[in-house]
């Protein structure tokens, strides 16, 4: 018992150290539940019935003694009366043993044993029911925590949409979008009120079992799927065999059989043995002390008692038949419940897989709708409705996941594996509640004031639908806008007036400050983010000598000298080709970055074909800030001076004001990190 208590203390300590997990809550509830304590007392009390039945096998030893003071008056006829006093004592010591009573003793013992086992199983079942109720209350509390957090997150999303709607109203004067968003916000607030009430009720229910104040640090447990049988046949075989109700009825049948055996014993004789020692001092005879010792063997046989024994026997036989039929009913009921719960659990697994795929598709559709909305081909209400549908589907996913938890633990209860499975759970660390959030926390890096000036106009980046600019200038504009953004649509509303599809279709005339520092700031936005990715990859810093950016910008020639010039074939600077050398390991190597832009927003193939540089270019893709980018590299150079020469030669044929020299190893790193199915991995 001391060892068990020590293990329990250690188990409790380890559970407390990891927060309010399901395992912690269940153990604490069992330790402090009044119902559990009453069940323990009930089990101990029923155990004493067995000890009582064992006593019939042992002899009885009794001692009896008394003293007597007797005054006797004798009055004979025709004589005078005489008076006499008699004082004395009597002591008896009796030992009695039942030798045979027709099996009555054994039947009573069996009845007591099976009654105790039946009650013990019933108490264990009640204990498991307390564990199940505690588990379901805990899961309901955690579910409401997750739903509340998800709904608050959706409210943040709608508030972002409201900002966009206000800005649209300021520009167009149309207030429909604002009213639509405000209506959805009212709906979300109503949902929040409902969830807060549900959370409060769930917490109150959990406090009924868990004596301590539950915090918001609770978390969902994980499923041990291996404890669930693989098929229905295995389920029924194990489930019915171990079901508490079935086991209890089996013990009740055995107990009733023992009662029938007791009634059978009434038709058989009883044989007893008795030893008696008696000391009589002046009780039977005045002034005489007697000392008697005797041994007696007694046989008793009930020949007839009016038929009562037969009636009792038939009654108990009928009760036995009742118990057997009740077992059949309990077995059928258990079988039906097991099959139903197993089907529900399996269905929940399949449904969750389907809902997750549905959520992924809705996210993909929403992203497309956002891009189309930015491009002017999708209405604001379409985006709002898609956002609402995604939120509802996430709610449905959480509800179904916790429905699976309910089916899982209810199934374990009927399999008599609930407490064992919970104790098998490894210690969890319950941190912040995790849900699929739509709004990411703002990153440390934000769009700079200089970039904001560029995006807002002020003679830097202006959309001119009436002018015809060069195709490369159109690519530059898309490149500058999207590589500078460090937040998505929910955190940055400056992009709301930029029509992306229009950027791709139309020509633009850029008016960019000629100062080198302005151009360098825009290019640095992408490269700083790439450096961060390199440093964060597997928490392994890359050699600064190999990844340090080399920006050697050539002097931009006046546009007037280039406008009427047709692109020709580029003169190769080196015999080494970038397409071959890119997949090799080089100690020092450099290349020229000609173009970087978001996939589907820039046409890299058009750019390469326009200047006929496909023979010495390498195109690869990478990711940053949640976007997919494409980059065009030109040439392979062994030194910076050689790369500068290549820049000069290219500058004679094309506008290179945003091209720069870069370390080849850095681009190899990005290619390897995000290569996916593109190309072969570089040998290192």
Angle at 375 between CA 374 and CA 381, to 5 degrees: 55
pLDDT digits (tens, 9 = 90+) for 592-613: 998 888 888 788 888 888 888 8
Alpha-carbon distance values, 411 to 105, 134, 236, 357, 363 (Å): 41, 15, 12, 26, 34
Task: Give the closest residue to 525 by CA, choosing from 440, 455, 621.
Answer: 455
pLDDT computed for residue 580 by the predictor: 85
CB atoms within 10 A of CB 372: 16
Q: Write down the mean pLDDT value for the chain.
A: 76
Q: Which fold has domain 449-673?
A: Alpha-Beta Plaits (3.30.70)
User: Which tokens belong to 202?
Assistant: 């769930």
Q: Can you tell me the distance from the alpha carbon of 460 to that of 453, in angstroms, rounded to the nearest whole number?
A: 8
**DSSP H helical ranges for 20-103:** 22-32, 34-54
Residue with tokens 């994980």: 222
Burial class (CB in 10 A: 0-12, 13-18, 19+), 448: middle
What is this structure's pTM?
Answer: 0.57
* Higher pLDDT, residue 19 or 238: 238
Six token digits for residue 617: 């270019």
Contacts 24+ apart (CB under 8 A), 76-85: 84/286
Question: Is the pLDDT higher at 387 or at 561?
Answer: 387
For the chain, state the CA radius of gyration.
Answer: 46
Task: Tell me whether strands 617-624 and 270-281 are parallel, antiparallel or unpaired.
Answer: unpaired
Q: With CA atoms as reference, report the closest residue to 657 among 555, 523, 570, 567.
A: 555
What does the alpha-carbon distance between residue 228 and residue 241 come to, in Å, rounded to a whole number? Answer: 15
Task: Give me the pLDDT at residue 523, please.
Answer: 55
Name the pLDDT band for 146 (thresholds 50, 70, 90): very high
When pLDDT is averaged across residues 205-216 and rounded to a whole number, the result is 84
Q: Are 256 and 316 in contact (CB under 8 A)?
A: yes
Q: How confident is the model at residue 468 (pLDDT cuts 50, 70, 90)?
A: very low
Instruction: State the CB neighbour count (10 A cutoff) for residue 130.
Output: 19
Would residue 8 be called left, alpha or beta, if left means φ above 0 and alpha means ψ between -120 and 50 degrees? alpha
3-state SS assignment for residue 563:
coil
CA 144-146-152 angle, to 5 degrees, is 100
Quick one: CA dihedral 331, 337, 342, 347, positive or negative?
Answer: positive
Residue 469 has pLDDT above 60, yes or no: no
Q: Residues 376, 424: contact at Cβ < 8 Å?
A: no
Q: Which two tokens stand for residue 604?
A: 């890299």
State the pLDDT at residue 304.
79
CA angle 88, 89, 91 (to 5 degrees): 160
How far apart CA 293 and CA 480 sit, in angstroms, is 121
Are 199 and 144 within 8 A, CB to CB?
yes
**For residue 450, which of 551, 530, 498, 520 has the smallest C-alpha distance?**
520
For 174-188, 312-326, 369-383, 548-562, which range has the lowest pLDDT when averaged over its residues?
A: 548-562
The rounded distance, in Å, linking the Cα atoms of 640 and 659 is 14
**Domain pair 2-32+107-250+325-424 / 449-673, same fold:** no
2-32+107-250+325-424: which CATH architecture? Up-down Bundle (1.20)
What is the Cα–Cα distance from 648 to 635, expressed in whole angstroms? 13
Is residue 503 within 8 Å of 601, Cβ to Cβ? yes
What CATH number belongs to 59-106+265-309?
2.20.200.10
Question: Helices (H) and strands (E) in the chain — how many of each?
Answer: 19, 8
- Cα separation, 485 vs 525, in Å, equals 8
Q: Give the rounded percent of residues in the chain with a pLDDT score beyond 90.
A: 26
pLDDT of 544 > 70? The answer is no
Structure tokens at 351: 């449904």
DSSP state at residue 625:
T
Is the pLDDT score of 425 beyond 50? yes
- Token output for 358: 């549905």
Determine how many CB atoms are found less than 10 A away from the CB of residue 251: 21
Q: What is the pLDDT of residues 30-54, one digit of tens each?
A: 888 888 888 889 888 888 889 888 8
Mean pLDDT across 231-248 = 88
What distance in Å separates the CA atoms of residue 173 and residue 169, rounded to the nearest whole number? 5
Q: Quick check: helix, strand or coil at residue 490?
A: coil
CB of 132 closer than 8 Å to CB of 407: no
Q: Is 252 helix (H, G, I), strand (E, B) or coil?
A: helix
Both tokens assigned to 236: 């029924």
The model's confidence at residue 575, banded by pLDDT at 50, 70 and 90, is low
- pLDDT score recorded for residue 524: 59
306: region left, alpha or beta (phi > 0 left; psi from -120 to 50 alpha): left
Amino acid 533: pLDDT:
52
Closest CA to 128 of 8, 208, 30: 30
List b or e across 154-174, with b for residues whose CB sees 16 or more CB atoms inside 10 angstroms.
Answer: bbebbebbbebbeebeeeeee
Domain edges within the chain = 2-32+107-250+325-424, 59-106+265-309, 449-673
Q: Using an 8 Å Cβ cutoff, are 27 and 138 in contact? A: no
Torsion of CA 537, 541, 546, 552, to 10 degrees: 80
């Amino acid at each position: 018992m001391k060892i068990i208590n020590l293990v329990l203390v250690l188990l409790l300590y380890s559970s407390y150290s990891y927060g309010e997990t399901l395992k912690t809550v269940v153990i604490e509830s069992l330790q402090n539940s009044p119902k559990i304590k009453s069940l323990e007392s009930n089990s101990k009390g029923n155990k004493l019935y067995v000890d009582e039945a064992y006593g019939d096998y042992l002899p009885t030893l009794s001692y009896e003694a008394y003293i007597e003071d007797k005054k006797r008056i004798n009055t004979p006829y025709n004589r005078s009366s005489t008076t006499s006093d008699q004082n004395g004592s009597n002591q008896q010591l009796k030992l009695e043993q039942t030798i045979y009573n027709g099996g009555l003793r054994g039947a009573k013992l069996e009845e007591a044993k099976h009654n105790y086992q039946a009650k013990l199983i019933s108490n264990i079942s009640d204990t498991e029911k307390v564990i199940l109720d505690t588990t379901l209350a805990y899961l309901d509390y955690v579910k409401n925590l997750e739903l509340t957090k998800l709904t608050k997150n959706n409210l943040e999303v709608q508030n972002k949409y409201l900002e966009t709607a206000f800005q649209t109203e300021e520009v167009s004067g149309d207030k429909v979008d604002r009213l639509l968003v405000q209506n959805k916000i009212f709906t979300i607030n109503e949902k929040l009120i409902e969830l807060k009430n549900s959370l409060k009720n769930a917490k109150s229910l959990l406090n009924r079992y868990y004596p301590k104040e539950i915090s918001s640090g609770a978390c969902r447990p994980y499923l041990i799927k291996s404890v669930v049988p693989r098929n229905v046949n295995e389920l029924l075989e194990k489930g019915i065999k171990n079901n508490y109700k079935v086991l209890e009825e089996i013990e009740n049948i055995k107990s009733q059989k023992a009662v029938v055996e007791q009634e059978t014993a009434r038709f058989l004789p009883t044989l007893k043995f008795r030893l008696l020692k008696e000391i009589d001092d002046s009780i039977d005879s005045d002034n005489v002390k007697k000392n008697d010792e005797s041994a007696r063997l007694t046989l008793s046989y009930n020949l007839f008692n009016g038929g009562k024994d037969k009636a009792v026997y038939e009654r108990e036989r009928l009760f036995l038949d009742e118990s057997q039929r009740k077992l059949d009913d309990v077995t059928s009921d258990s079988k039906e419940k097991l099959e139903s719960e197993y089907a529900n659990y399996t269905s929940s697994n399949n449904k969750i897989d389907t809902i997750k795929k549905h959520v992924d598709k809705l996210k993909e559709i929403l992203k497309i709708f956002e891009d189309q909305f930015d491009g002017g081909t999708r209405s604001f209400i379409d985006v709002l409705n898609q956002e609402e549908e995604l939120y509802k589907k996430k709610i449905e996913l959480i509800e179904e996941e916790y429905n699976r938890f309910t089916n899982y633990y209810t199934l374990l209860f009927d399999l008599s594996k609930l407490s064992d499975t919970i104790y098998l759970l490894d210690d969890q660390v319950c941190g912040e509640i995790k849900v699929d959030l739509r709004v990411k926390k703002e990153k440390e890096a934000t769009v700079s004031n200089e970039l904001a000036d560029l995006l807002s106009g002020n003679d830097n980046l202006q959309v001119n639908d009436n002018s015809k600019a060069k195709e490369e200038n159109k690519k530059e504009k898309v490149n500058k806008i999207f590589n500078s953004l460090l937040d998505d649509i929910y955190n940055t509303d400056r992009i709301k007036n930029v029509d992306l599809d229009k950027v791709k279709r139309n020509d633009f005339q850029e008016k960019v400050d000629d100062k080198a520092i302005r151009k360098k700031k825009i290019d640095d936005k992408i490269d700083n983010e790439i450096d961060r990715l390199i440093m964060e990859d597997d928490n392994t810093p890359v050699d600064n000598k190999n990844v340090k950016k080399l920006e050697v910008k050539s002097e931009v020639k006046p546009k007037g000298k280039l406008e009427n010039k047709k692109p020709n074939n580029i003169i190769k600077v080196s015999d080494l080709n970038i397409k071959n050398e890119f997949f090799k390991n080089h100690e020092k190597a450099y290349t020229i970055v000609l173009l970087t832009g978001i996939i589907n927003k820039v046409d890299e193939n058009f750019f390469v074909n326009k200047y006929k540089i496909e023979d010495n270019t390498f195109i690869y893709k990478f990711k940053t800030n949640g976007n997919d980018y494409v980059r065009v590299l030109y040439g392979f150079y062994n030194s910076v001076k050689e790369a500068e020469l290549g820049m000069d030669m290219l500058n004679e044929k094309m506008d290179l004001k945003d091209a720069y020299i870069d370390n080849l190893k850095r681009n190899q790193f990005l290619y390897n990190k995000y290569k996916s199915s593109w190309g072969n991995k570089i040998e290192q």
